[in-house]
Amino acid sequence: MSRRWRQLLISAVVVPLASVVAGFLVGALAILVTGSDPIQAYSALFAGAFTNHNAAAETLVSSIPYVFLGLGVALGFRAGLFNIGAEGQFYVGALAGVFVAFSVHRLPGIVEVPLALLVGMAGGFFWAGIAGVLKATTGAHEVITTIMLNYISFLLASFLVNTKGLLLAPNVSTPRTPDVDPAAVLVTLIPGSRLHAGLLLALIAVPIVWFLIERTTIGFRIRAVGFNIDAARTAGISVRRTIVITMGLSGALAGLAGIVQVLGVNKHMTDTVAAGYGFDAIAVALLARSNPWGVLPAALLFGALRNGASFMQLETQVSSDLISIIQASVIVFVAAPVIVRWLLRLREAPVQTLQITQREEVETTS
């Protein structure tokens, strides 16, 4: 048992943490090459992310969508589904929710907010569900279909938001939807900051998703399908239904991210509202090792990077694109734990797939 816990600690904490450190080192290298001082740059990044006025609150604001999106992508991973369409589902969720939120009036917030959130989730569920249905019925790979659905949703959002008589608000300089009903706005948690009640929703979503995966029959099906699709089918689990539901739930979380962002931050919707959050979320889920609890620190890291980047650029002239280098290297290290283990001289516990093939080899041939 203690050995198992040690393994778990290494794979769930040590390796991701070391990957982050290694990612920052690669980033430092890149800063050096461009002739700047990495220590200065990282100090500025840290200040911009945490210690400047309101910086910590802003970091949390940026982290909120990462939590929902990261949970969504992680949920898909658990069933072996690679949902690259979180960005698009974010848009569809935001579109569906914002329509409700600016259309309804004179209802109390306690009704309007949940209504808008539910409709947003439904939008995401539906959008990702298309990819799920396509996979379940025709075998079309979700990576392909969600990418395609992304384009459709970007252009759909752009069309709706830019077209008079549809969602375009009258008399605005940049195209956007009308403002949402004041009662539908998520309350501000810290006066003078933009930190909104979406943070609480995010904090509640983590244990809910954990419970869903680890303690419900749906989660059991998701994990069984993700681990061994053939054994799941043999045990009578409907793989098709599980794929559709998992994709849908994954999309619902992405849609929730979208509508929370609209109700909490923008109060209206533009056609750039997702701002790459949905793509970063894939990295968040990877860094979290598809564990809902892991999504929290991973989302915080990505929120901090996103938030601190502009101050770093302002202060030290190091391009904020550096953040992408850090993110990318972190993911490379997370995806290749063998490197990290080697760097840390951790005892061999090879990648899961490798273990399986070796085991099968031994079993079947002896």
Partner 1 sequence: MDLDVSWGEVHALLGENGAGKSTLMNVVYGLVRPDSGEIMVDGNRVEIGSPLDAIRLGIGMVHQHFMLIPPLTVAENIILGQEGEFARGLIDVERAGAAVRKLSSDYGLAVDPRAKVEGLSVGVQQRVEILKALYKGARILILDEPTAVLTPQEVEGLFRIVRSLTDEGKAVIFITHKLAEVMAVADRITVMRQGKVVDTRKPAEASLAELARMMVGRPVLLRVERKPARPGAALLRVEGLVVHDDRRQVAVDGVDLAVRAGEIVGVAGVEGNGQDELVEAIVGLRRLQAGRVVFDDRDVSRKSTRERLHAGISYIPADRHRLGIVLELPVSDNLVLDHYGQPPFARWVVRQLKAVRTYAQRLIKAFDIRAAGPDQLVSALSGGNQQKVVVARELSTKPRVLIAAQPTRGVDVGSIEFIHQQIVSQRDAGLAVLLVSSELDEVLSLADRVAVMYRGRIVSVLEGEQIERERIGLLMAGVA
Minimum Å gap between C-beta 259 and partner 1 is: 25
When the beta carbons of 267 and 341 are compared against partner 1, the nearer one is 341
d(C-alpha 22, C-alpha 277), whole Å: 23
Minimum Å gap between C-beta 223 and partner 1 is: 7
Minimum Å gap between C-beta 204 and partner 1 is: 18
Amino acid, res. 69: L
Minimum Å gap between C-beta 218 and partner 1 is: 6
Phi-psi region at 171: left, alpha or beta (left = phi > 0; alpha = psi -120 to 50): left
25: Cβ contacts below 8 Å, ≥ 6 apart: none
d(C-alpha 347, C-alpha 15), whole Å: 12
Minimum Å gap between C-beta 193 and partner 1 is: 38
When the beta carbons of 78 and 196 are compared against partner 1, the nearer one is 78
* φ and ψ of 106, to 5 deg: 60, 20
Alpha-helical segments (H) within 34-81: 38-46, 55-78
When the beta carbons of 194 and 223 are compared against partner 1, the nearer one is 223
When the beta carbons of 189 and 239 are compared against partner 1, the nearer one is 239
Tokens of 23: 């990612």
When the beta carbons of 78 and 341 are compared against partner 1, the nearer one is 78
Q: DSSP code of 290?
A: T
Minimum Å gap between C-beta 129 and partner 1 is: 19
Q: Please give the full DSSP string across 6-19, using - where no structure is assigned.
A: HHHHIIIIIHHHHH
When the beta carbons of 221 and 268 are compared against partner 1, the nearer one is 221
d(C-alpha 209, C-alpha 249), whole Å: 10
The CB density around residue 276, as the number of other CB atoms within 10 Å, is 11
Name the residue among 275, 113, 118 with its Cα closest to residue 196. 113
Minimum Å gap between C-beta 219 and partner 1 is: 8
Distances (CA, A) of 287 to 135, 154, 245, 271, 331: 26, 26, 24, 28, 7
Minimum Å gap between C-beta 201 and partner 1 is: 22
Q: Are the C-beta atoms of 202 and 189 separated by less than 8 Å?
A: no
Q: Are the C-beta atoms of 260 and 65 separated by less than 8 Å?
A: yes
Minimum Å gap between C-beta 333 and partner 1 is: 23
When the beta carbons of 227 and 342 are compared against partner 1, the nearer one is 227
**CB neighbour burial string for 243-273, b if at least 16 within 10 angstroms, e if fewer:** bbbbbbbbbbbbbbbbbbbbbbbbbbbbbeb
What residues make contact with partner 1 under the rule CB under 8 A?
1, 215-218, 220, 223-224, 227-228, 230-238, 352, 355-356, 359-366
When the beta carbons of 171 and 364 are compared against partner 1, the nearer one is 364
Q: DSSP code of 238?
A: -
d(C-alpha 104, C-alpha 343), whole Å: 57
User: CA-based angle 295:301:254, to the nearest 5?
Assistant: 45
Minimum Å gap between C-beta 233 and partner 1 is: 7
When the beta carbons of 173 and 234 are compared against partner 1, the nearer one is 234
When the beta carbons of 226 and 294 are compared against partner 1, the nearer one is 226
